[in-house]
Amino acid sequence: MEKEGYNRLETLQKIAHQQGTPVMVIDLEQVRRNYRRFQKNLPGVQIYYAVKANPAPEVVRTLYQMGASFDVASLPEFHLVRDNIKHLLPQEQQEFIWDKIIYAHPVKMINTLHELEPFKPLVVYDNFDELEKIKKHCPSAGLVLRLEVPNEGSAVNLSSKFGASQEDALALIVKANEAGFTVEGLSFHVGSQCTNFTNYHQALSLCAAVFEAAEEKGITLGNSRTGRRILDIGGGFPVEEYSAGAPRFEVLAENLLKQIQAIFSEEIEVIAEPGRFLVANAGTLIVSVIGRAFRHGKIAYYIDDGLYGTFSGQVFDHQLYTLKSFRDGPGEICTIFGPTCDGFDTVSPNTNDPQYPPGYLPRMELGEFLYAENMGAYTLASASNFNGFPLAKVVCLNH
Ligand SMILES: Cc1ncc(COP(=O)(O)O)c(C=O)c1O
Protein backbone atom coordinates (compact mmCIF):
# COMPACT_ATOMS: atom_id res chain seq x y z
CA MET A 1 0.00 0.00 0.00
CA GLU A 2 1.22 3.48 -0.82
CA LYS A 3 1.33 5.97 2.05
CA GLU A 4 -1.67 8.25 2.43
CA GLY A 5 -1.14 11.59 0.74
CA TYR A 6 1.52 10.14 -1.57
CA ASN A 7 1.05 11.38 -5.11
CA ARG A 8 3.14 9.25 -7.45
CA LEU A 9 3.03 11.49 -10.52
CA GLU A 10 3.85 14.60 -8.47
CA THR A 11 6.77 12.78 -6.87
CA LEU A 12 8.09 11.67 -10.27
CA GLN A 13 7.96 15.22 -11.63
CA LYS A 14 9.67 16.59 -8.53
CA ILE A 15 12.49 14.08 -8.96
CA ALA A 16 12.84 14.99 -12.64
CA HIS A 17 13.08 18.70 -11.73
CA GLN A 18 15.65 18.03 -9.01
CA GLN A 19 17.79 15.44 -10.81
CA GLY A 20 17.35 16.33 -14.45
CA THR A 21 16.40 13.76 -17.08
CA PRO A 22 16.61 11.04 -18.19
CA VAL A 23 16.02 9.57 -14.75
CA MET A 24 14.93 6.08 -13.75
CA VAL A 25 12.91 6.02 -10.53
CA ILE A 26 12.90 2.65 -8.79
CA ASP A 27 10.20 2.12 -6.18
CA LEU A 28 11.77 -0.18 -3.61
CA GLU A 29 8.44 -0.71 -1.85
CA GLN A 30 7.10 -2.15 -5.12
CA VAL A 31 10.11 -4.49 -5.26
CA ARG A 32 9.17 -5.65 -1.74
CA ARG A 33 5.53 -6.13 -2.77
CA ASN A 34 6.63 -8.26 -5.73
CA TYR A 35 8.89 -10.32 -3.48
CA ARG A 36 6.07 -10.91 -0.98
CA ARG A 37 3.68 -11.87 -3.78
CA PHE A 38 6.15 -14.43 -5.12
CA GLN A 39 6.74 -15.88 -1.65
CA LYS A 40 3.06 -15.99 -0.77
CA ASN A 41 2.17 -17.94 -3.91
CA LEU A 42 5.21 -20.21 -3.99
CA PRO A 43 5.81 -20.84 -0.27
CA GLY A 44 9.01 -22.68 0.53
CA VAL A 45 10.64 -21.76 -2.80
CA GLN A 46 13.86 -19.84 -2.11
CA ILE A 47 14.18 -16.78 -4.36
CA TYR A 48 17.53 -16.28 -6.10
CA TYR A 49 17.07 -12.83 -7.69
CA ALA A 50 18.55 -12.74 -11.23
CA VAL A 51 20.75 -9.67 -10.83
CA LYS A 52 21.07 -9.11 -14.60
CA ALA A 53 17.48 -7.80 -14.75
CA ASN A 54 18.39 -4.73 -12.70
CA PRO A 55 21.76 -4.55 -10.98
CA ALA A 56 21.07 -1.37 -8.96
CA PRO A 57 22.85 -1.87 -5.60
CA GLU A 58 19.76 -0.60 -3.71
CA VAL A 59 17.69 -3.36 -5.33
CA VAL A 60 20.26 -5.98 -4.31
CA ARG A 61 20.32 -4.70 -0.72
CA THR A 62 16.53 -4.44 -0.50
CA LEU A 63 16.04 -8.00 -1.72
CA TYR A 64 18.76 -9.32 0.57
CA GLN A 65 16.97 -7.71 3.52
CA MET A 66 13.77 -9.48 2.41
CA GLY A 67 15.63 -12.80 2.58
CA ALA A 68 16.56 -13.28 -1.08
CA SER A 69 19.53 -15.16 -2.43
CA PHE A 70 21.03 -14.24 -5.82
CA ASP A 71 21.60 -15.63 -9.31
CA VAL A 72 24.73 -14.10 -10.84
CA ALA A 73 26.06 -14.73 -14.33
CA SER A 74 29.36 -12.87 -14.43
CA LEU A 75 32.23 -12.02 -12.11
CA PRO A 76 31.17 -8.34 -11.84
CA GLU A 77 27.67 -9.44 -10.79
CA PHE A 78 29.21 -11.81 -8.26
CA HIS A 79 31.26 -8.98 -6.73
CA LEU A 80 28.31 -6.58 -6.87
CA VAL A 81 26.26 -8.93 -4.71
CA ARG A 82 29.13 -9.75 -2.40
CA ASP A 83 30.09 -6.10 -1.86
CA ASN A 84 26.52 -5.09 -1.16
CA ILE A 85 25.46 -7.74 1.29
CA LYS A 86 28.63 -8.52 3.24
CA HIS A 87 28.21 -5.62 5.63
CA LEU A 88 24.51 -6.38 6.15
CA LEU A 89 25.20 -9.77 7.66
CA PRO A 90 24.81 -9.91 11.44
CA GLN A 91 28.05 -9.67 13.43
CA GLU A 92 28.12 -13.37 14.26
CA GLN A 93 27.81 -14.22 10.56
CA GLN A 94 30.52 -12.02 9.12
CA GLU A 95 31.76 -14.98 7.12
CA PHE A 96 29.98 -14.68 3.82
CA ILE A 97 27.34 -17.35 3.25
CA TRP A 98 28.13 -18.72 -0.18
CA ASP A 99 24.98 -20.72 -0.62
CA LYS A 100 23.25 -17.32 -0.93
CA ILE A 101 24.56 -17.22 -4.50
CA ILE A 102 24.26 -19.47 -7.53
CA TYR A 103 26.57 -18.79 -10.46
CA ALA A 104 23.96 -19.59 -13.09
CA HIS A 105 25.87 -19.06 -16.34
CA PRO A 106 26.58 -22.52 -17.79
CA VAL A 107 29.72 -21.33 -19.62
CA LYS A 108 32.36 -19.58 -17.53
CA MET A 109 35.67 -17.95 -18.35
CA ILE A 110 38.73 -19.60 -16.87
CA ASN A 111 39.73 -16.55 -14.82
CA THR A 112 36.18 -16.47 -13.42
CA LEU A 113 36.54 -20.06 -12.24
CA HIS A 114 39.88 -19.23 -10.59
CA GLU A 115 38.33 -16.31 -8.74
CA LEU A 116 35.35 -18.36 -7.61
CA GLU A 117 37.41 -21.30 -6.39
CA PRO A 118 38.16 -20.02 -2.82
CA PHE A 119 34.44 -19.60 -2.17
CA LYS A 120 33.30 -23.19 -2.86
CA PRO A 121 30.65 -21.83 -5.19
CA LEU A 122 27.47 -23.42 -6.46
CA VAL A 123 27.80 -23.31 -10.26
CA VAL A 124 25.73 -24.42 -13.23
CA TYR A 125 27.07 -26.54 -16.10
CA ASP A 126 25.47 -28.04 -19.20
CA ASN A 127 28.26 -29.60 -21.30
CA PHE A 128 31.29 -31.89 -21.09
CA ASP A 129 33.96 -29.26 -21.84
CA GLU A 130 32.63 -27.06 -19.05
CA LEU A 131 32.92 -29.98 -16.66
CA GLU A 132 36.58 -30.39 -17.59
CA LYS A 133 37.15 -26.66 -17.09
CA ILE A 134 35.48 -26.67 -13.67
CA LYS A 135 37.48 -29.73 -12.61
CA LYS A 136 40.72 -28.04 -13.55
CA HIS A 137 40.06 -24.49 -12.40
CA CYS A 138 37.38 -24.65 -9.69
CA PRO A 139 37.40 -28.14 -8.17
CA SER A 140 35.73 -26.95 -4.94
CA ALA A 141 32.47 -26.20 -6.77
CA GLY A 142 29.12 -27.84 -6.20
CA LEU A 143 27.30 -28.46 -9.47
CA VAL A 144 23.80 -27.94 -10.81
CA LEU A 145 23.05 -29.41 -14.23
CA ARG A 146 20.97 -27.20 -16.54
CA LEU A 147 18.58 -28.97 -18.87
CA GLU A 148 17.31 -27.81 -22.23
CA VAL A 149 13.55 -27.31 -21.97
CA PRO A 150 10.85 -25.94 -24.30
CA ASN A 151 10.83 -22.13 -24.54
CA GLU A 152 7.77 -22.07 -26.77
CA GLY A 153 6.16 -18.62 -26.96
CA SER A 154 8.45 -16.90 -24.43
CA ALA A 155 9.54 -13.34 -25.26
CA VAL A 156 13.24 -14.21 -24.94
CA ASN A 157 14.40 -17.65 -26.02
CA LEU A 158 17.26 -19.23 -24.06
CA SER A 159 17.03 -22.87 -25.08
CA SER A 160 18.84 -22.34 -28.38
CA LYS A 161 21.92 -21.38 -26.37
CA PHE A 162 21.83 -23.27 -23.06
CA GLY A 163 20.83 -26.58 -21.54
CA ALA A 164 21.91 -30.21 -21.82
CA SER A 165 19.73 -32.41 -23.99
CA GLN A 166 17.86 -35.23 -22.31
CA GLU A 167 20.19 -37.68 -24.10
CA ASP A 168 23.33 -36.05 -22.62
CA ALA A 169 21.96 -35.35 -19.15
CA LEU A 170 22.63 -38.73 -17.57
CA ALA A 171 26.13 -39.00 -19.06
CA LEU A 172 26.94 -35.52 -17.71
CA ILE A 173 25.83 -36.56 -14.22
CA VAL A 174 27.81 -39.80 -14.38
CA LYS A 175 30.92 -37.97 -15.64
CA ALA A 176 30.66 -35.34 -12.90
CA ASN A 177 30.28 -38.05 -10.31
CA GLU A 178 33.34 -39.89 -11.60
CA ALA A 179 35.29 -36.61 -11.48
CA GLY A 180 34.52 -36.40 -7.76
CA PHE A 181 31.86 -33.68 -7.90
CA THR A 182 28.53 -33.61 -6.14
CA VAL A 183 25.76 -32.86 -8.59
CA GLU A 184 23.43 -31.04 -6.23
CA GLY A 185 20.46 -30.80 -8.54
CA LEU A 186 18.90 -29.75 -11.83
CA SER A 187 17.94 -26.40 -13.30
CA PHE A 188 16.12 -25.06 -16.34
CA HIS A 189 14.85 -21.82 -17.82
CA VAL A 190 11.57 -21.76 -19.76
CA GLY A 191 12.47 -18.51 -21.56
CA SER A 192 11.99 -15.01 -20.27
CA GLN A 193 8.47 -13.52 -20.01
CA CYS A 194 6.96 -16.98 -20.35
CA THR A 195 3.21 -16.78 -20.86
CA ASN A 196 2.92 -20.37 -22.09
CA PHE A 197 2.79 -22.28 -18.81
CA THR A 198 3.07 -25.64 -20.58
CA ASN A 199 6.81 -24.91 -20.79
CA TYR A 200 7.08 -25.16 -16.99
CA HIS A 201 5.07 -28.38 -16.86
CA GLN A 202 7.18 -30.05 -19.52
CA ALA A 203 10.37 -28.88 -17.81
CA LEU A 204 9.29 -30.34 -14.45
CA SER A 205 8.46 -33.69 -16.05
CA LEU A 206 11.85 -33.72 -17.74
CA CYS A 207 13.60 -33.05 -14.42
CA ALA A 208 11.67 -35.89 -12.76
CA ALA A 209 12.77 -38.24 -15.57
CA VAL A 210 16.44 -37.24 -15.20
CA PHE A 211 16.38 -37.60 -11.39
CA GLU A 212 14.92 -41.06 -11.88
CA ALA A 213 17.42 -42.07 -14.56
CA ALA A 214 20.30 -41.04 -12.25
CA GLU A 215 18.73 -42.99 -9.39
CA GLU A 216 18.55 -46.08 -11.59
CA LYS A 217 22.30 -45.69 -12.22
CA GLY A 218 22.80 -45.63 -8.46
CA ILE A 219 23.50 -41.87 -8.30
CA THR A 220 21.42 -39.80 -5.90
CA LEU A 221 21.69 -36.12 -6.63
CA GLY A 222 21.88 -34.04 -3.49
CA ASN A 223 22.88 -30.79 -1.89
CA SER A 224 25.99 -31.44 0.16
CA ARG A 225 24.84 -29.02 2.88
CA THR A 226 21.19 -30.00 3.28
CA GLY A 227 21.18 -33.50 1.84
CA ARG A 228 18.26 -32.49 -0.38
CA ARG A 229 18.22 -32.39 -4.17
CA ILE A 230 18.02 -28.93 -5.70
CA LEU A 231 15.28 -28.30 -8.24
CA ASP A 232 15.98 -24.88 -9.74
CA ILE A 233 12.90 -23.76 -11.68
CA GLY A 234 14.73 -20.73 -13.13
CA GLY A 235 13.08 -17.48 -14.15
CA GLY A 236 10.55 -16.57 -16.81
CA PHE A 237 7.70 -15.57 -14.47
CA PRO A 238 5.70 -13.13 -16.58
CA VAL A 239 5.06 -9.47 -15.85
CA GLU A 240 1.33 -8.87 -16.27
CA GLU A 241 1.67 -5.12 -16.75
CA TYR A 242 3.41 -5.45 -20.13
CA SER A 243 0.25 -6.36 -21.98
CA ALA A 244 -3.47 -6.65 -21.32
CA GLY A 245 -4.64 -10.23 -20.95
CA ALA A 246 -1.28 -11.62 -19.76
CA PRO A 247 -1.80 -14.66 -17.52
CA ARG A 248 -1.80 -14.21 -13.75
CA PHE A 249 1.19 -15.35 -11.70
CA GLU A 250 -1.19 -16.82 -9.11
CA VAL A 251 -2.50 -19.32 -11.67
CA LEU A 252 1.00 -20.38 -12.68
CA ALA A 253 2.13 -20.69 -9.05
CA GLU A 254 -0.85 -22.87 -8.08
CA ASN A 255 -0.21 -25.22 -10.99
CA LEU A 256 3.51 -25.34 -10.31
CA LEU A 257 2.99 -26.22 -6.65
CA LYS A 258 0.52 -28.96 -7.52
CA GLN A 259 2.84 -30.52 -10.06
CA ILE A 260 5.90 -30.29 -7.83
CA GLN A 261 4.03 -31.94 -4.96
CA ALA A 262 2.70 -34.65 -7.26
CA ILE A 263 5.94 -35.71 -8.90
CA PHE A 264 8.79 -34.98 -6.47
CA SER A 265 9.51 -36.38 -3.03
CA GLU A 266 9.88 -34.19 0.05
CA GLU A 267 13.68 -34.33 -0.19
CA ILE A 268 13.55 -31.69 -2.86
CA GLU A 269 14.83 -28.13 -2.28
CA VAL A 270 13.06 -25.88 -4.76
CA ILE A 271 14.71 -22.62 -5.75
CA ALA A 272 13.77 -20.05 -8.42
CA GLU A 273 15.62 -17.28 -10.25
CA PRO A 274 13.03 -14.58 -10.96
CA GLY A 275 14.39 -11.44 -12.59
CA ARG A 276 11.81 -9.24 -14.29
CA PHE A 277 8.96 -10.36 -12.02
CA LEU A 278 10.62 -8.62 -9.05
CA VAL A 279 11.67 -5.38 -10.69
CA ALA A 280 9.89 -4.58 -13.98
CA ASN A 281 6.88 -2.74 -12.56
CA ALA A 282 9.05 -0.96 -9.98
CA GLY A 283 10.87 1.19 -12.55
CA THR A 284 9.53 4.36 -14.17
CA LEU A 285 11.62 6.36 -16.62
CA ILE A 286 11.19 10.12 -16.99
CA VAL A 287 12.51 11.89 -20.08
CA SER A 288 12.32 15.40 -21.53
CA VAL A 289 11.22 16.58 -24.94
CA ILE A 290 14.37 18.12 -26.41
CA GLY A 291 13.17 18.80 -29.95
CA ARG A 292 10.06 18.90 -32.09
CA ALA A 293 9.50 18.82 -35.82
CA PHE A 294 6.98 17.83 -38.47
CA ARG A 295 8.12 14.74 -40.33
CA HIS A 296 6.06 13.30 -43.15
CA GLY A 297 3.06 15.34 -42.14
CA LYS A 298 3.08 14.18 -38.49
CA ILE A 299 4.36 15.71 -35.30
CA ALA A 300 7.65 14.18 -34.18
CA TYR A 301 9.33 14.56 -30.77
CA TYR A 302 12.98 14.09 -29.94
CA ILE A 303 13.59 12.96 -26.37
CA ASP A 304 16.75 12.68 -24.26
CA ASP A 305 16.77 8.85 -24.03
CA GLY A 306 16.37 6.22 -26.71
CA LEU A 307 17.09 2.77 -28.11
CA TYR A 308 20.80 3.06 -27.36
CA GLY A 309 19.93 4.00 -23.77
CA THR A 310 17.16 2.88 -21.44
CA PHE A 311 14.84 1.95 -24.31
CA SER A 312 17.41 -0.70 -25.34
CA GLY A 313 14.89 -3.10 -23.79
CA GLN A 314 12.82 -2.61 -26.94
CA VAL A 315 15.71 -4.07 -28.95
CA PHE A 316 17.12 -6.79 -26.70
CA ASP A 317 14.18 -7.66 -24.47
CA HIS A 318 11.47 -7.33 -27.12
CA GLN A 319 9.21 -5.23 -24.90
CA LEU A 320 7.52 -1.97 -25.87
CA TYR A 321 7.16 0.86 -23.37
CA THR A 322 4.46 3.50 -23.65
CA LEU A 323 5.46 7.12 -23.17
CA LYS A 324 2.80 9.16 -21.37
CA SER A 325 2.31 12.82 -20.67
CA PHE A 326 1.92 14.13 -17.11
CA ARG A 327 -1.03 16.26 -18.26
CA ASP A 328 -4.32 15.53 -19.98
CA GLY A 329 -5.30 16.96 -23.33
CA PRO A 330 -6.55 15.76 -26.68
CA GLY A 331 -4.11 13.15 -27.96
CA GLU A 332 -2.63 12.80 -31.41
CA ILE A 333 -0.50 10.22 -33.15
CA CYS A 334 3.16 11.15 -33.04
CA THR A 335 6.61 9.79 -33.75
CA ILE A 336 9.11 9.67 -30.89
CA PHE A 337 12.82 9.65 -31.63
CA GLY A 338 15.79 9.03 -29.33
CA PRO A 339 18.62 11.58 -29.04
CA THR A 340 21.31 9.93 -31.20
CA CYS A 341 22.16 10.51 -34.85
CA ASP A 342 20.93 7.09 -35.90
CA GLY A 343 17.57 6.79 -37.65
CA PHE A 344 17.12 3.38 -36.04
CA ASP A 345 16.93 5.22 -32.72
CA THR A 346 13.14 5.55 -32.93
CA VAL A 347 11.21 4.79 -29.74
CA SER A 348 7.71 5.00 -31.24
CA PRO A 349 7.54 5.08 -35.02
CA ASN A 350 4.66 6.42 -36.99
CA THR A 351 3.52 3.10 -38.42
CA ASN A 352 0.40 1.06 -38.92
CA ASP A 353 2.05 -2.04 -37.48
CA PRO A 354 -0.03 -3.11 -34.43
CA GLN A 355 3.08 -4.86 -33.04
CA TYR A 356 4.93 -1.57 -32.98
CA PRO A 357 2.43 1.21 -32.39
CA PRO A 358 3.11 4.93 -32.80
CA GLY A 359 3.11 7.32 -29.86
CA TYR A 360 -0.12 8.98 -28.79
CA LEU A 361 0.29 12.19 -26.81
CA PRO A 362 -1.24 15.61 -26.31
CA ARG A 363 0.73 18.31 -28.11
CA MET A 364 3.98 18.57 -26.11
CA GLU A 365 6.16 21.63 -25.60
CA LEU A 366 9.95 21.65 -25.56
CA GLY A 367 11.30 20.85 -22.10
CA GLU A 368 8.18 19.00 -20.97
CA PHE A 369 8.51 15.67 -19.20
CA LEU A 370 7.18 12.31 -20.38
CA TYR A 371 7.21 9.07 -18.40
CA ALA A 372 7.12 5.35 -19.19
CA GLU A 373 6.15 2.71 -16.64
CA ASN A 374 7.23 -0.93 -16.21
CA MET A 375 10.79 -0.17 -17.25
CA GLY A 376 12.58 -1.68 -14.25
CA ALA A 377 13.91 -4.83 -15.99
CA TYR A 378 16.41 -5.29 -18.84
CA THR A 379 16.42 -1.60 -19.76
CA LEU A 380 19.20 0.38 -18.07
CA ALA A 381 21.03 -2.94 -17.70
CA SER A 382 21.61 -3.05 -21.46
CA ALA A 383 21.97 0.70 -22.12
CA SER A 384 25.09 2.14 -23.78
CA ASN A 385 26.78 5.53 -24.09
CA PHE A 386 26.59 5.52 -27.88
CA ASN A 387 27.06 8.98 -29.37
CA GLY A 388 28.29 10.20 -26.00
CA PHE A 389 24.89 10.44 -24.35
CA PRO A 390 25.03 9.61 -20.64
CA LEU A 391 22.96 6.84 -19.09
CA ALA A 392 19.83 7.75 -17.16
CA LYS A 393 20.40 8.55 -13.50
CA VAL A 394 18.86 6.17 -10.98
CA VAL A 395 16.83 7.38 -8.00
CA CYS A 396 15.43 4.86 -5.54
CA LEU A 397 12.25 5.65 -3.61
CA ASN A 398 11.82 4.13 -0.19
CA HIS A 399 8.43 5.43 0.86
C1 LIG B 1 19.92 -18.37 -15.92
C2 LIG B 1 18.88 -17.32 -15.81
N3 LIG B 1 18.14 -17.29 -14.69
C4 LIG B 1 17.20 -16.33 -14.50
C5 LIG B 1 16.95 -15.37 -15.46
C6 LIG B 1 15.89 -14.36 -15.19
O7 LIG B 1 14.82 -14.54 -16.03
P8 LIG B 1 13.49 -13.69 -15.89
O9 LIG B 1 13.85 -12.26 -15.86
O10 LIG B 1 12.70 -14.08 -17.06
O11 LIG B 1 12.81 -14.11 -14.62
C12 LIG B 1 17.67 -15.40 -16.67
C13 LIG B 1 17.40 -14.42 -17.73
O14 LIG B 1 17.98 -14.41 -18.79
C15 LIG B 1 18.67 -16.40 -16.85
O16 LIG B 1 19.41 -16.45 -17.96
Please give the distance, rounded to the nearest whole angstrom, from the Cα atom of residue 103 to the centre of ligand 1. 12
Chain segment 322-368, per-residue pLDDT in tens: 999 999 989 999 999 999 999 999 999 877 777 777 889 999 999 99
Please give the distance, rounded to the nearest whole angstrom, from the Cα atom of residue 161 to the centre of ligand 1. 13
Please tell me whether residues 201 and 334 are part of one structural domain.
Answer: no
Q: Residue 13: which residues within 8 A CB-CB, separation 6 or more?
A: 286, 326, 369
- Mean of all residue pLDDT scores within the chain: 93
Q: Does 294 fall in a domain?
A: yes
**341 is an active site residue:** yes
Give yes or no for residue 22 CB within 6 A of ligand 1. Answer: no
Please give the distance, rounded to the nearest whole angstrom, from the Cα atom of residue 192 to the centre of ligand 1. 6
**What CATH number is given to the structural domain containing 287?**
2.40.37.10
Please tell me whether residues 55 and 190 are part of one structural domain.
Answer: yes
Position 316 pLDDT exceeds 90 = yes
What residue spans of the chain are helical by DSSP H?
8-19, 28-41, 57-66, 75-85, 110-116, 128-137, 166-178, 198-216, 249-263, 276-279, 313-316
Please tell me whether residues 79 and 115 are part of one structural domain.
Answer: yes
Q: Does 44 fall in a domain?
A: yes
Comparing CA positions, the residue from 339, 242, 357 lying closest to residue 348 is 357
Please tell me whether residues 65 and 184 are part of one structural domain.
Answer: yes
Domain region containing 249: 28-279
Give yes or no for residue 238 CB within 6 A of ligand 1. Answer: no
Say what the alpha-carbon torsion angle 276, 379, 24, 27 is, to the nearest 10 degrees: 0
Comparing CA positions, the residue from 341, 280, 284, 279 lying closest to residue 307 is 341
Give yes or no for residue 163 CB within 6 A of ligand 1. Answer: no
> Exactly one of 138, 194, 334, 341 is catalytic; which is it?
341
Please tell me whether residues 330 and 207 are part of one structural domain.
Answer: no
Q: Does 11 fall in a domain?
A: no
pLDDT given at position 37: 98
**What CATH number is given to the structural domain containing 229?**
3.20.20.10
pLDDT given at position 245: 79
CB atoms within 10 A of CB 297: 6
Chain segment 269-286, per-residue pLDDT in tens: 999 999 999 999 999 999
Give yes or no for residue 273 CB within 6 A of ligand 1. Answer: yes
Q: Could you tell me how many residues make up the chain? A: 399
Give yes or no for residue 237 CB within 6 A of ligand 1. Answer: yes
Q: Does 14 fall in a domain?
A: no
